[in-house]
Every structure is written in C-alpha cells, then in structure tokens.
Structure 1
Amino acid sequence: MVAAVLAFSLMDATAKALSPRIGIIPALWTRYAGQMILVLFLVRHRFPAVLKTRYPLLQLMRSLFLLCATWCFFIGISNIGLAEATAIMNINPILITIGAAVFLKEGLGPRRLIGIGIALIGALIIIRPGASVFSPYAIYPLVAAMFISGYNLATRFVGKDENIWTSLLYTGLFGTLVLSVMVVPNWTPPDATSIGLMILIVIFGTTSQLLLIQALSQGEAGLLAPFGYTGLIFATFWGVVFFAEFPDMWTIVGALVIASAGIYVWHRETFRRAKE
C-alpha cells in the first residue's frame, strides 16, 4: 500500500508538470491509454481468459470512479499546490471506512465516527471556505476523494474473486475509450520534454494501480486505508523539490488533523481486534 501511494504521488507530480504543457485532457488520456497499452502487452499471453469477469458492472463502475477521481484531481493539482490537493484528497481513507461499514460490513464503531468528524474538520481547515485564500479548485480534490473511495471499495469487493490482471485491465478500459474520443479536438503536439513526462505517467500510473489492487485484494479496506497518509509526506516533498511549493501553516495543521484522525481510528480498531 505504501509503495502504491509512492507511485501515485510520482504520477501526480508528473501530471502537474505535464498538464500546463499539453492540457488536462491529453494528460488524462496519456495516463489511461498508456496504461492500457502496457497492460495489454503484459497480459497478451493470458487472453482470452483475462477478459472473463464475474462482475462486469462493478468493473465498469471501478473504471468510471477512477476516471472521475483522476479527472477531478488533475484539475485540482493544476491550480493549487500539490501538498494542499493531496492533503484534501487524504480524507478518502475516512470515506473508505464509512463505505466499508455500509457496503462491505466491516464494522463502524463510535471511535471511527469520531475520527470521521475530526477528519472533516481537518479538510475544512485546509479548504477554508469563506476565507480570502479560498480557491474553488480546492473542491476538486474533495470530490476526487469521494470517487476514489468508491473505486477502492469496489476493488476490495471484486478482488476476492477476480484475477489481479483482469481487474487491472478493466480499470482503464472505460477511461481509455471515453478519453480517446475527447482527446482528438484537444490534442497539442508534445515536445521532447512532454513526451518524457508522458512516458513517466504511464509507468507510475500502471505501477500504482497494480500495487493498489494487490494490496486491496489481501487486506481489509479499512485497515489499509490509513497507510494512504504517507502520500502527505511524498506530495509535500515533490511539491518543494519540483515546484518550489511550500505549504502554509493551515495546510500543515489541517493535514495533521486528518492524518491524526485516521491513525487514531486505525490504532483503536487494531487494538480492539487484538483483544478479540
């Protein structure tokens, strides 16, 4: 899970650098089409078995959720700091906890409810609606967090019965088809630097999905979710190194509140299981 988050953070940093050069839709298309080409190459010896799925509608939903999440997040990181966007996005482990309780019956105790409330406060500290520094683009990572939570929960559900390569193949299918149509009128010929960044997005995006699917296939969604907070460290580091973006005090405070809430819930629930 930590390795998946690292790969995701590298993809996000690369997308932030690429989007201003060629546009958000071409950057999205690169992320999806590139992953599909690489996955098709990797599973070429597994056809046609890899196409068989017990959950065609859920696989479609997974792909749709991920497309919406990626789209919203790419818009966010193109307009606000990488650390700020990632901190807001990191409310998704709390949303996963709610969804895991509702849809996967993994349990939702009072401590988890307290953690959810605290995490929401942390997100509001970062977004600061009504303040002079508020940016409407800060809403996009929040919406992305909702979609990525749905994607993670669906992945957790199908992961029990589906081959990891089948899930990886269907992950990018819908997004690739939709974006392949949309990219035509929005295409900008890339220069050498842009091509290099496009290749990196493909590598990081595919690696992150493969690692995430593997993690969610082997562990409870609610248990794994807090490890996603390592993305706060990675995003802050890449933001400082590559974009000279230094998060302000309130972003750091909000991020710590969100992370503390998630870690508290994870610690208490793990302790409870150990006693049982």
Structure 2
Amino acid sequence: MSPNTIGALLMIASMACFTFNDTLLKMTDGALPLFQLLFLRGVTTSVLILALSRQLERIDFRLQARDWKVIGLRSVAEIAAAYFFLTALFNMPLANVTAILQVVPLSVTLAAALVFRQAVGWRRLVAIGIGFCGVLLIVKPGAEGFNIWSIYVLIAVLCVTVRDLSTRALSPAVPSMTVTLVTALSVMTAAGLASLSAPWAPVTPSVAALIGGSGVFVLGGYFFSIQVMRVGDIGFIAPFRYTGLLWALLLGWVVFGDWPGAMTLIGAGIVVATGVFTLYRERKLKVQAEKMRRT
C-alpha cells in the first residue's frame, strides 16, 4: 500500500477507537460520578501508555521551558474539553455530539489565522462561515432544540481548538508519547482531586469492564493518531477524520437506538463538506507554494 493509503487507514482506525471509547463511556449511563469515571479511565490509560511506551515511542521529560508551558496549556484545554464533552455526551445522542465536533478543523483554521497570522483566502473564509451555519442546523438555536448541553459541546470545540493549536506550537523534537502521557496524567489528577468533593460510587464488574475497554480504545486512538503524522500527505489523510461521524451514526443507532433528525444530518453534511473543501484548499496552496520555491 502507498503511504497515503496507510495514513488514511490509520486515520479511520483512530476515529473508530475514539468513537468506541465515547460509546463505552456513555454506556456507563451515570453509574459513576463523572470525575470518578475520568479518574479511573485516566489510571487505565496511563498504565497502558507506560507499559507500551517502548513499543510506541520513547518518553523523554527533558524539554525546554517553553515546551513545558505549551504542554501545560494543552493539558488544561484537554481537561476542560473532557469535562464539557463527556457531560454533553451523557445528555445528548452520540451522533449529535460528534457532528458538532466535526467543526473543529474549521475552527482550528480560523483560529490559526487569528493567532498565528496564517493567510486564509476568501474561499476558505466563506467555507468556514457556511460550516458554522451547518453547526447551527445541528444545535437548532431555537426555543425547542437549543439547550445547555449544546453549549457544552460548543465549549468543548473551543477547548479542542486551543489544544490543537497548542500542539502545533510544540517544538518538533518533543516526543508525542511524552505529550500523551502528560495529558493523561493531567486529566487523571484533575479528575481525582475533583472526585474528592463527592462520595465515590461502587464499581460493578460490568462498569469496570466498560472503563477498561474505554482505556484500551483511548490508547488505540492515541497510537493511531500519532502514527498518522508519520506517513503520507496530511492534506490527503486529514479528510478521513470525518469517518468518526459515520462511526457515531452507526454506534448511536445500534447501541442506543438513536438516529439524528433530517436537520442534524443536513447540518453535519454541510460541516463535513466545508471542512473537506478547506483541507483541499490548504493542500492545494501548499503544493503551489512548493512549486514556487522550486522555480
């Protein structure tokens, strides 16, 4: 297989793992307080990362002070994203939450233009605007459809955007597994401290199995997403991120019996289409810039 084909398959696998993780956590159905759940999953994930770090990638904590500051910002964003996303996930259909998250590539592109002063042409700006209109169709900002959980997902989108921009700001020499482990430990520690404010619930064998499976799938998502960055053309591979929505639609229907309404599906289609177009334009402009350099 070509590097691009391998990269596409790795991206699909990554999205599948993350969606299966979300499904397993949602299946706990409030059996445990959120912070206790996050702490136990963090323990599982951290242990797995340490156990497999030699096979996945080296872990090195000898980093520059600047990189530690960026990792700290990224970890805070990850903690907030986990809280708002999972809170919304426990109160909304899986596909609806995932559909709103598909706007992240658009929000990252817009934020990169504002923060890093990256050039964004009028075509991509129009696509971003249309994509956000698609999000409005999903969250239904009317008296009937809009609720606090929709706001929580939008806050999670903001947090994920900060996380991704922070990742871009890291030095190339920073090992990905170091960032992954620090992030997992940060979420685990924050959740563990927060969980002390309320009594812990007993963990039944079935809930323990769901948490364990969630930890395995999160590790799979981390591993595949790291490998994606090492093969192929990112401009070709990135659109396969949207397969996460297909997994969410399938699992939401099979496991929970949820199927989004027509407006949600239309909005999700608009978001995906504009996201793919934005990624296509970025790839095209990079190719043109590379040709200019060679000439």
Fold in common (TM above 0.5): yes
Q: Secondary structure at the match of 1:172?
A: helix
- Stretch of structure 1 that moved more, 206-215 or 140-149: 206-215
Amino acid at match of 1:31: R
Give the structure with the higher percent helix: 1
Displacement of 1:56: 0.8
Conservation of the 8 A alpha-carbon contact between 1:100 and 1:106: yes
TM-score (norm 2): 0.84
Displacement of 1:3: 2.2
Point out where structure 1 has 5 or more consecutive residues left out of the alignment.
Answer: none
Q: Secondary structure at the match of 1:162?
A: coil
Conservation of the 8 A alpha-carbon contact between 1:168 and 1:210: no
CA gap of 1:155–1:223, structure 2 versus 1, over 3 A, is farther
Whole-angstrom distance in 1 between the partners of 2:36 and 2:268: 30
CA gap of 1:219–1:65, structure 2 versus 1, over 3 A, is farther
Whole-angstrom distance in 2 between the partners of 1:83 and 1:180: 29
Q: Which position in structure 2 is the counterpart of 1:10?
A: 20
Q: Which position in structure 2 is the counterpart of 1:138?
A: 150
Task: State the Cα RMSD in Å.
Answer: 2.5
Whole-angstrom distance in 1 between the partners of 2:13 and 2:169: 21
229, 248, 258: which one aligns with 2:261: 248
CA gap of 1:43–1:220, structure 2 versus 1, over 3 A, is same
Whole-angstrom distance in 1 between the partners of 2:162 and 2:233: 15
Alignment of 1:251-270 (within 5 A): 251-270=264-283
Aligned length: 275
Conservation of the 8 A alpha-carbon contact between 1:14 and 1:197: yes
35, 51, 59: which one aligns with 1:25: 35
Alignment of 1:26-65 (within 5 A): 26-43=36-53, 50-54=60-64, 55-65=67-77
182, 195, 217: which one aligns with 1:170: 182
Q: Which position in structure 2 is the counterpart of 1:98?
A: 110
Displacement of 1:28: 1.6
Amino acid at match of 2:268: A
Amino acid at match of 1:143: I
115, 119, 130: which one aligns with 1:107: 119
- Stretch of structure 1 that moved more, 196-205 or 215-224: 215-224
Whole-angstrom distance in 2 between the partners of 1:68 and 1:222: 28
Point out where structure 2 has 5 or more consecutive residues left out of the alignment.
Answer: 1-10
TM-score (norm 1): 0.90
Give CA deviations for 1:156-198 in whole Å, capped at 9, x if unaligned: 3326221122122112122121111222434211111101101
Displacement of 1:125: 0.7
- Stretch of structure 1 that moved more, 11-20 or 242-251: 11-20
Conservation of the 8 A alpha-carbon contact between 1:159 and 1:216: no
Displacement of 1:23: 2.7
Identical columns (%): 28
Conservation of the 8 A alpha-carbon contact between 1:96 and 1:225: no
Give CA deviations for 1:87-120 in whole Å, capped at 9, x if unaligned: 1111111011123334455531212111110111
